[in-house]
Structure 1
């Protein structure tokens, strides 16, 4: 436990990491303010010193994770011309399905107050699926200029299809259920390979 009056550095990140461990171990129903602070090894009131309430904490946790995913997706365009288009997309988008992604989605769904705050933040421009979709479009357009994606391909539509699939799988997965990673991999492969067949060539 942290002594009273002693500052903890990186407290939000510490609480986020603790919450993700609780979710991975016990599921959404176990997430309470006390469970998070106990897991983090800090004073019980610390969470409420930094967040308005548990809904605010959950919303900020989800937004934090999406911001990290959006930052990672933004690096996709630096891989243009390297490896294969399919594997580059797989590497970027499969992280959406990694734990605790589906569990966080389930948690947000059962907490309407958190869901409302997340939507409001996205409407104000916080990074979310739209940012990831934009990064995927930018990457595909870069590969298109290198002739590794057919000139006839609609990169924005392809990006919407793969990101939308990832979102669907995140929202319909459940802790302990079948891993959705292979389903997303197959969709990405089918979409990109299909466009290459239409374009008669290119490196998938």
Structure 2
């Protein structure tokens, strides 16, 4: 535990990582301010010193993970012409799928105040699924220009199909669900075939 009066480095990430560990093997109701700070090994009031409450904390955690994924997938257009289209799309889809735990996103959805904060931030331009979808479409456009997709391929619809499906898998990926990686790989194979991309 940090001594009193000693600054805790990168407090947000410390608390975010602790919350993910709390939820790794527990039900969403296990996520409390006390459970988070206990797991982080920090003062009990640290969370409330940086967030107005648990709803804001959960919303900020989801938005932080979405933004990190948007940055990662934002590098996808630079990979045009490298590896295969299927490999690049699979990597992007898996980055999105693992951006945050389904338990975290499910918790955000089940808490109306947290869900509203996430929605407001996304509407105000915070990077999320729309930014990721745009990056995938930009990547496919680049591959189209390189001749690695068939002429006339509907890159915007392909990007929507990929990101929308992965979003669904992320929101419903609970214990007992089919293994999502295999589903992603089958989807990418289907979309690549529809786009006229070689395997």
Q: Residue deviations 1:78-129, cap 9 Å, x none?
A: 1110111011000111122227431222111221110000000000000000
Change (3 A) 1:45 1:26: same
- Give ranges in structure 2 of 5+ residues lacking alignment: none
In structure 2, the residue corresponding to 1:26 is in which secondary structure? coil
Instruction: Name whichever of 129-138 and 19-28 sits farther off.
Output: 19-28
Distance in 1 (CA, whole Å) between partners of 2:44 and 2:175 is: 27
1:145 partnered with 2:145: yes
Q: So what's the TM-score if we normalise by structure 2?
A: 0.95
Distance in 2 (CA, whole Å) between partners of 1:45 and 1:153 is: 54
C-alpha displacement of 1:15: 0.4
Distance in 1 (CA, whole Å) between partners of 2:186 and 2:56 is: 36
Q: Residue deviations 1:53-95, cap 9 Å, x none?
A: 0000000000000000000000001111011101100011112
RMSD of aligned alpha carbons: 1.3
Instruction: Name whichever of 19-28 and 126-135 sits farther off.
Output: 19-28
C-alpha displacement of 1:150: 1.2
Distance in 1 (CA, whole Å) between partners of 2:57 and 2:183 is: 31
Q: So what's the TM-score if we normalise by structure 1?
A: 0.93
Distance in 2 (CA, whole Å) between partners of 1:177 and 1:203 is: 30
Matching residue of 1:84: 84
C-alpha displacement of 1:23: 1.1
Matching residue of 1:199: none
1:67-106 aligned at under 5 Å gives the runs 67-98=67-98, 100-106=100-106
1:41 partnered with 2:41: yes
